[in-house]
Amino acid sequence: MNALRQNKAACAYPAMLLNGVCASSGGVVMALLQERYGLSYQWSGLLLAMLSVGNLAAGFAAGMLPAHWGQRRTVLMLAGGAALGYGAMILTGSPWALLAAFTLVGVAKGTTLNTSSALISAHARERTKCMNLIHARFATGSLLCPLFIAALGMGGLSWWAPMAGLALCGAALWGVFALAGLPGRTGDGARVKNDWSFLRSPRFWVLTGLVFFQNCTEISVTGWMVTYFKDVGILSGPAGQMTVTVIWGAMLAGRLCIAFVFPVKNSFRTLSLMSACCVGTYILLLMAKTPASALICLFLFGLAIAGVNPTAVAAGNALSGAGLGVMLPAAGVGAVLMPYITGAVAQRFGIWAGMLCTVFALMGMTACAVALYRRNDMK
């Protein structure tokens, strides 16, 4: 406990681990709530979208509230959303109450991510290394999440045991920040004048489009895949919940390979190749008919998409560090829209048709990547 107080950056590691467990449970929890409360595909898609709405709202709140309330009060108020949200899911099946609950979980996710990144940037000596380490902790939590939920769902425990366990994780997350010794109200400090010339760069906006479509794809797949496998009869129960572990394991492996084994030399060519592989592996995934083939295709898809976001964001940061403040929120809109679109189409035409919508997002991502590569190659 004292170590957390003495080193503010240290709290980012347990916080991101717990954040991975809480924030990556959306698809698994949604499948459980569908079965318990009889939610439609359209409402389920809206619930997943609210996770991203909360995440975006946390980003805006993190930029405004600390100046008035201080970082400690702001973080403690917002990070409690995970415990409150999962607790509410146990108490009521009202769709409107569930919308608020998923939004609270999204707010806690965004708050933890923003605060942890800020603490590392401000207090860590090796920022690049430590930033990668905290994201590795998030991926580890995401890998553990379905195992944690499956364990709580076994042994004759009540249906709400997984949500209760996640609420306790959310409470532990709040406790980490409560012990971290975060500062109170920030000082006025000198204003930094940013260069906004990147807004006139076509490359910047194409990169933003690429990350937009990547967000559409990743959130839709991680949020809907458990329900898809269950409803088409490929995987169900605890085995279906393990799909989250498969895709996050593949994404973690892919990102580590790019970082340490196959470093990127030409960002735009790499983005084009990865995007094309995403299209191919996802189509194979939708064609899979057996558990083995589905899990293999899902793993390959996870490997293919693993490096798209960090590579694109790194390329955007090279254009302008201030540009990330525009790129990430703008691209984050895709994470809000796509889960709802998938649910609305699935409600009308079936779950397979809903998942097919992601192909169009992947094609948009590939088109942006190829446009960037061709423009860079001509120069």
Dihedral angle, C-alpha 360, 243, 116, 267, nearest 10 °:
-40
Which residue type occupies 159? W
Q: Token pair for residue 318? A: 């090279």
Query: Which among 120, 170, 131, 224 is positioned nearest to 19, based on CA atoms?
Result: 170
User: What is the pLDDT at residue 235?
Assistant: 82
pLDDT band at 189 (very low <50, low <70, confident <90, very high): very low
**Tokens 């609305």 belong to which residue?**
344
Instruction: Say yes or no to pLDDT of 38 above 90.
Output: no
User: How do residues 307-353 score in pLDDT, each as one tens digit?
Assistant: 888 778 767 655 554 566 677 777 878 888 898 899 999 999 999 99
* Contact assessment for residue 136 and residue 130, using Cβ atoms and an 8 Å cutoff: no
String of DSSP letters for 33-60 = HHHHH---HHHHHHHHHHHHHHHHHHHH
Indicate the pLDDT class of residue 2, thresholds 50, 70 and 90. Answer: very low
Q: What is the Cα–Cα distance from 335 to 217, expressed in whole angstroms?
A: 8
Contacts of 251 (CB under 8 A, 6+ apart): 139, 302, 303, 305, 306
Give 275-312 pLDDT, tens digit per residue.
999 999 999 999 999 999 999 999 999 999 988 887 78
Q: Domains along the chain? A: 1-185 (1.20.1250.20), 195-379 (1.20.1250.20)
Which pLDDT score, from 0 to 100, does residue 85 have? 94
| pLDDT confidence band for 129 (50 / 70 / 90) | low
Q: Residue 131 has what pLDDT?
A: 64
Helix (H/G/I), strand (E/B), else coil: 290? coil
Between 242 and 106, residue with greater pLDDT: 106
What is the per-residue pLDDT across 201-225, written as a single tens digit (0 to 9) for each? 888 899 889 989 999 998 889 888 8
